[in-house]
C-alpha cells in the first residue's frame, strides 16, 4: 500500500534535487532551530515515544514487536489509505474539517473489517480513534495531538507498520524546499540563509514574526515578510482543500498536472513564433507555474526520487519521464 502540489526555473529546480536527496537519505537537522516546535510536531513526537516504549520487562531483552508482517492485511485498502493521508495532512499542518465525514465512514468500514477478522486490538484502537473523530469543532492543536496519539494505537495493531513520522519529515522537507525555491526567484539571499539554518517546518516559518526573522537572518524586513506570507499562504490553502487529493488518488492527480504542463508547454512553443512580447511572457510564466505546481504535488506525495530525476530534465523531458513513470506505476 502506498502512503504516499511555487515556481520553477532551472536555478530553482536544482534545489529540488538537493532537498530530495537530503530528505530521502534522512539528513539530520543542522544549524539553529527557529523555535521549539509546533503543536503537531510535539504531538507526533509524543505519540511515537509511546509507540516505542518497551513492552517486555525492563532490561530483559529487545522490545517485542506487535507487528506481524506475514499476516494478510484483509482491510479495505482505499479506506486505510484515506486514513493515512489524513494523518499525514494532520501531522504537517492545519487541516480542514471536510476530511471528517469521509474519514468517519472509512474508519467504520475498517472497524467492521477488523471485527470480521477477529482482530480485537485493531478494532479497539479504531473504535477509540472513531470516538475522537466524532467530536465536534475545529481541528485545533490539542485535538490534532489527540488524533495523532490515537492513530499510534491503530498503527501498532496493524500487521505492518506505517512510518508516519518518517513520511512527515520527508514530505515536509520537500515542500519547504519547493516554497524556498519560489522565494529564491525574487529573494535569493534570504532563501539561501534559511537553507543554511538547516531543516525547519512549514508551521514554524508560517508562524514566524517577520521582524524577528529579519533580524535573525540579517535580511530586509520586507523579504522576511515575503517568506512568512509564502508559507502562511501555503498552509491556509492546504488547510482549505480537504480530502480532494486523497479521494482523487495520486495517479489521477499527477496525470491532471502533467496534462496541464503539456498544454502550457505547447502554448509556450507557439508563443516563441509570435512577435507579441506579452503573449510570450504570459506563456512562459504559465509554463513555469505548471512546472512548479507539478513539483509541489510530487513533494506533497513524498516522491523524492522522481523529483531528483526531473531536476536534470528539460520541460519536455519532465513530461516524457513522468508519463513513463506513471505508466510503470500503473502496471506494477
- Report pLDDT for 228: 96
Give the three cell numbers for residue 154.
491503530
- The residue-averaged pLDDT of 88-111 equals 93
Q: What is the pLDDT of residues 150-199, one digit of tens each?
A: 999 999 999 888 888 899 999 999 999 999 999 998 999 999 999 998 88
Half-sphere exposure of 150 (CA within 13 A, CB side): 21
Residue 246 vs residue 228, higher pLDDT: 228
Residues in the chain: 332
Residue 224 vs residue 20, higher pLDDT: 224
CA atoms of 252 and 77, how far apart (whole Å): 17
With a cut of 80, say whether residue 319 has pLDDT above it: yes
pTM of the complete model beyond 0.85: no
Q: What is the pLDDT of residues 52-89, one digit of tens each?
A: 443 433 333 333 445 555 556 689 999 999 999 999 99
- Report pLDDT for 199: 81
With cell 480530502, the residue in question is 243
Residue 45's pLDDT band (cuts 50, 70, 90): low
Instruction: Among 62-76, 202-216, 269-283, name the one with the lowest average pLDDT.
Output: 62-76
Q: Are 315 and 185 in contact (CB under 8 A)?
A: no
- Tell me the Ramachandran region of residue 31: left when phi exceeds 0, alpha when psi lies from -120 to 50, beta otherwise: left
Residue 140 φ/ψ, nearest 5 degrees? -75, 180
- Report pLDDT for 98: 93
CA atoms of 156 and 145, how far apart (whole Å): 17
Give the three cell numbers for residue 325.
513513470
CA atoms of 304 and 18, how far apart (whole Å): 10
Residue 41's pLDDT band (cuts 50, 70, 90): low
Instruction: Find, among 245, 242, 266, the residue nearest to 254 by Cα.
Output: 245
CA atoms of 9 and 181, how far apart (whole Å): 9
What is the distance of C-alpha 22 from the center of its chain? Answer: 15
Q: What is the pLDDT of residues 115-154, one digit of tens each?
A: 999 999 999 999 999 999 998 889 999 999 999 999 999 9
% of the chain surpassing 70 pLDDT = 78
CA atoms of 42 and 26, how far apart (whole Å): 19
% of the chain surpassing 90 pLDDT = 63
Instruction: Find, among 74, 88, 44, the residue nearest to 158 by Cα.
Output: 74
Amino acid at each position: 500500500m502506498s502512503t504516499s502540489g511555487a515556481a520553477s526555473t532551472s536555478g530553482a529546480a536544482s534545489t529540488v534535487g538537493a532537498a530530495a536527496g537530503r530528505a530521502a537519505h534522512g539528513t539530520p537537522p543542522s544549524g539553529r532551530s527557529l523555535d521549539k516546535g509546533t503543536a503537531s510536531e510535539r504531538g507526533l513526537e509524543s505519540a511515537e515515544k509511546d509507540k516505542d516504549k518497551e513492552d517486555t520487562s525492563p532490561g530483559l531483552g529487545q522490545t517485542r514487536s506487535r507487528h506481524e508482517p506475514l499476516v494478510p492485511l484483509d482491510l479495505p485498502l482505499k479506506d486505510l489509505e484515506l486514513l493515512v493521508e489524513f494523518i499525514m495532512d494532520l501531522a504537517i499542518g492545519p487541516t480542514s474539517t471536510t476530511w471528517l465525514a469521509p474519514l468517519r465512514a472509512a474508519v467504520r468500514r475498517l472497524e467492521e473489517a477488523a471485527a470480521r477478522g477477529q482482530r480485537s486490538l485493531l478494532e479497539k484502537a479504531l473504535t477509540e480513534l472513531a470516538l475522537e473523530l466524532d467530536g465536534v469543532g475545529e481541528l485545533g492543536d490539542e485535538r490534532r495531538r489527540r488524533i495523532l496519539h490515537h492513530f499510534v494505537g491503530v498503527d501498532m495493531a496493524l500487521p505492518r507498520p506505517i512510518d508516519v513520522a518518517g513520511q512527515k519529515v520527508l514530505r515536509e522537507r520537500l515542500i519547504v524546499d519547493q516554497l524556498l525555491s519560489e522565494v529564491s526567484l525574487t529573494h535569493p539571499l534570504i532563501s539561501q540563509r534559511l537553507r543554511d539554518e538547516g531543516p525547519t517546518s512549514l508551521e514554524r516559518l508560517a508562524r514566524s514574526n517577520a521582524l524577528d526573522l529579519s533580524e535573525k537572518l540579517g535580511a530586509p524586513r520586507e523579504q522576511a515578510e515575503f517568506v512568512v506570507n509564502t508559507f502562511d499562504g501555503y498552509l491556509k490553502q492546504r488547510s482549505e482543500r480537504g480530502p480532494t487529493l486523497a479521494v482523487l488518488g495520486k495517479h489521477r492527480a499527477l496525470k491532471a498536472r502533467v496534462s496541464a504542463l503539456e498544454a502550457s508547454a505547447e502554448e509556450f512553443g507557439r508563443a516563441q513564433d509570435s512577435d507579441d512580447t506579452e503573449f510570450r511572457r504570459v506563456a512562459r510564466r504559465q509554463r513555469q507555474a505548471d512546472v512548479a505546481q507539478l513539483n509541489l504535488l510530487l513533494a506533497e506525495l513524498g516522491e523524492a526520487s522522481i523529483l531528483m530525476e526531473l531536476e536534470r530534465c528539460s520541460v519536455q523531458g519532465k513530461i516524457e519521464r513522468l508519463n513513463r513513470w506513471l505508466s510503470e506505476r500503473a502496471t506494477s
